[in-house]
Amino acid sequence: MILAVVLLAGRTAPALAETDIDREYKVKAAFLLNFIKFVDGGRFNPHDGADPGADEPNGPIVVAVLGTPPSTEAFAELAGRQVRDRSVVVRQFKGFDELKSEQGKIPELHPDMEQIKKCHVLFLCPAEKPFVRQTLATLRTEGILTVADVPGFLQAGGVINFVIEEKKVRFEVNLAAAARAKLQVRSSLLRLAIKIVEHDEWDRQDGERS
């Protein structure tokens, strides 16, 4: 009951006008912190010595932000917060547009991808919409909780996407993407999602290959 109240408070918080973008993104950052509490598996698995990619149980929870968020203040406030009895670290990575060469060429693979793969959560900023598919293609089986507020994010293979409905911040969940990343989304979180996707583009592509 308490968990539902905490999430519902964030879910019904109003999405404000662009002049109050910091406040809107603080709501989204609060949601993100709660997502971490209700998602298991993947990078959140304790390290047992057998899997070199598994998580260190006493290490920090690393939240990666890809691109420039509409509010840098909101995500900066996550740093140092406690979740799962661990401290949160926020790492900022340049967006693909910022990585253009002098000739205007955008790299196919992010130069910091190996560092991004070591993070627990990846938030893709709205400006990364043109590069969502190429980012998720690299990360879809890496055990990372991918989050964004980009239209079409779930169908492209993202796990959780923010949406604005009736001027409120809400979210939708892709269970197929979660399964590929070996993540388990708890039912208490799923009950608050306004939409749950069970199959996406990657499912269809994998089916065609088989």
| Higher per-residue confidence, 24 vs 54 | 24
> What's the predicted TM-score (pTM) here?
0.85
| pLDDT score of 206 | 62
Q: What is the pLDDT of residue 176?
A: 95
State the Cα–Cα distance between residues 35 and 158, nearest whole angstrom. Answer: 14
Q: Is the pLDDT of residue 51 over 50?
A: no
Helix (H) or strand (E) holding 205: helix 201-209
Q: What radius of gyration, in Å, describes the C-alpha atoms of the chain?
A: 17
Q: How many CA atoms lie within 13 A of 66 on its CB side?
A: 30
* Mean of all residue pLDDT scores within the chain: 86
Cα 165 from Cα 93, distance rounded (Å): 29
DSSP bridge partners of 66: 93, 124
Domains and CATH numbers, the chain: 2-209 (3.40.50.2300)
| pLDDT score, position 46 | 66
75-103 residue pLDDT tens: 988 999 999 899 999 999 999 999 999 89
The tens digit of pLDDT for each residue in 113-126 reads 999 999 999 999 99
Which amino acid is present at 1?
M
What residue type is assigned to position 175 of the chain? L
